[in-house]
A = this chain, B = another copy of it.
Amino acid sequence: MSINRKLRIAIDMDEVLADTIAKFIDVYDARHQTKISLGDMRGKEFHEILPPHLSSSLRQYINEKGFFRDLPVMPGSQEVVKALMENYDVYIASAAMEFKNSLEDKQEWLNEHFPFIPWTNIIFCGHKILDVDIMIDDRIKNFVTFNGRKLLFTSPHNLLIDDFERVNNWDEVAAKLLRS
């Protein structure tokens, strides 16, 4: 951490800024008339709670062009990110490289919903080897080699994890990182 600059925050996209799971639920309802309940997801990945004959279809849907373009925005995220930018250098960091068709969707989604974030502060990567001070992410794998402050953003799959400072929603991010 340098003392001559603002603190840097890296914010994840899926399940943090974007409600990816809501889209999953919609897709399986629309294409397979299969109702998936968030309550069943506690501690599990979405593909684990799909009926067995559907579990391999998820990756196919995620790889479709357009999948990431119309994800719902997480409540409060726009306002809190904008407020954070007054006091921090805010970066958006998504492991988008895993899904090669997602890059343009994610870029356009950010431009639509977070137009105040400059291109200089958007990162599409795989491993998040970032020189930042704070990371907000729902995946603990992204914390493994990170020495800064880790805020685990609650998502059903991480509900059984106790070892990290947790934020359940964007109000809690604001409470921890913004002065009241």
In the bound complex, residues from chain B placing their C-beta under 8 Å from that of A103 are 103-104, 107, 124
CA distance A97 to B127 in the complex (A): 18
In the bound complex, residues from chain B placing their C-beta under 8 Å from that of A126 are 118-123
CA distance A120 to B124 in the complex (A): 10
Does A129 belong to the interface (CB within 8 Å)? yes
Cβ–Cβ contact B127 & A124, under 8 A: no
CA distance A120 to B145 in the complex (A): 14
In the bound complex, residues from chain B placing their C-beta under 8 Å from that of A97 are 107, 119-120, 122-124
Please judge, given known A-B contacts A2-B145, A5-B145, A100-B107, whether A125 and B127 are in contact too, CB under 8 Å: no
Q: What mask results when residues 128 to 163 of chain A are scored 1 for a CB within 8 Å of chain B, else 0?
A: 011110000000000001100000000000000000
In the bound complex, residues from chain B placing their C-beta under 8 Å from that of A171 are none
CA distance A103 to B119 in the complex (A): 13
| A122 contact from B2, B122, B125, B131, Cβ within 8 A | B125
Q: Could you show 22 A-B contacts with beta carbons less than 8 Å apart?
A: A5-B145, A91-B127, A97-B120, A98-B119, A98-B120, A100-B107, A100-B119, A103-B103, A103-B104, A103-B124, A119-B126, A120-B126, A122-B125, A122-B126, A123-B126, A123-B129, A124-B124, A125-B125, A129-B131, A130-B131, A131-B145, A131-B146
**A-B interface, 8 closest residue pairs, ranked by CB to CB distance from nearest:** A120-B126, A97-B119, A123-B125, A103-B103, A131-B131, A124-B124, A129-B131, A120-B127
